[in-house]
Amino acid sequence: MKKIPFFKMNGSGNDFIIINNRRNIVEEMVDIPIHEFVRRVCERKLSVGADGLILIEKDNEYDFRWRFFNSDGSEAEMCGNGSRCAARFAYLNNIAPLSMKFLTLAGVIEAQITGLNTVRVQLTQPKDYKENIELDGVDMPLSFINTGVPHAVYFVSSVDVVDVKTIGEKTRYHEYFAPEGTNVNFVEVVNSHTLRIRTYERGVEDETLACGTGATASALIAILKGKCETPVEVITKSGNRLKIYAYIENSEVKRVYLEGDALLTYIGTMLDEAWNY
């Protein structure tokens, strides 16, 4: 019987399976394509279940590199909540010190353990900021920014009454964002330092309890549009709060940090029946 040890972690309710793959245990144990393996073990009720899966791998220049997969098996460039969990995992497993750097498809991420279960990450340089985008079939304009992965942002009067699934899906698959698609955020401004947010995540293809890069994108756009000032606290669907620190000069984002929890739910071992079903 084949066995793969793993950590189950979550950041603000966004949950992940994390595997130490520095000795290529996944390649050794799994005889199906990695994307299919991820899709199967992330399937709730049938297997471990998660919003995503993270492989921690060796890197010659940084403390480690990661591969991040959404629950549908697609590989993504970046995940804010996942990055905090990966950093704490690396620290708990003596892979990296309190302050670390690791490589993602979006670039190098700097992270620091700031408390027992809190982590602050410096995200990659945001890019492609656009305002007042109007899409066919959607009766409100949106803004866009890439915070490691693409994010569309709608500002609404109340996130409680938004049809996240319908508008999120329509926006995510709209030809304007083809072929990669986009994540979609619905944002309510509470005050100059607080936002409420709901997010439809690409790759999960549904609303999630939290999205770190989405919270960051929403906070940055709120600041750039004069709706908020740094730091911005973002209240997620789970009720947990993420804090975004932005350093902006002449409307250009110089640095951005995301801070929040990274909770260890349990440590387990998945057997081959977790993916061979």
79 counts as catalytic: yes
Return d(Cα 80, Cα 233) in angstroms, integer.
Answer: 15
70 is annotated as contributing to ligand binding:
yes
Gap between the Cα atoms of 145 and 140, Å rounded: 17
Question: 16, 261 in Cβ contact below 8 A?
Answer: no
183 annotated binding-site participant: yes
Determine whether the annotation assigns residue 13 to a binding site: no
Active site residue 42: no
Q: Is 94 annotated as a binding residue?
A: no
**Tokens 């790759």 correspond to what residue?**
203
Q: Is 192 helix (H, G, I), strand (E, B) or coil?
A: coil
Instruction: Extract the tokens encoding 243.
Output: 């804090």
DSSP 8-state symbol, 91: H
Distance CA(213)–CA(78), nearest Å, equals 8
214 is in an annotated binding site: no
Work out whether strand 263-271 and strand 3-11 pair parallel, antiparallel, or are unpaired: antiparallel
Contact 120, 231 (CB under 8 A): no
Residues pairing with 55 in the sheet = 19, 67
Instruction: Out of 42, 79, 85, 228, pick the active-site residue.
Output: 79
As a whole number of angstroms, the distance between CA 46 and CA 48 comes to 7
Residue linked to tokens 């000069």 = 249
What values do phi and psi take at 231, rounded to 5? -80, 155
The H-assigned helical ranges of the chain are: 25-29, 34-41, 80-92, 164-172, 212-224
Burial of 61 (0-12, 13-18, 19+ CB in 10 A): exposed
Q: Which of 42, 85, 211, 228 is catalytic?
A: 211
Catalytic residues, which ones? Answer: 79, 211
Would you list which residues are annotated within the binding site for substrate? Answer: 14, 70, 80-81, 183, 201-202, 212-213
Would you list which residues are annotated within the binding site? Answer: 14, 70, 80-81, 183, 201-202, 212-213
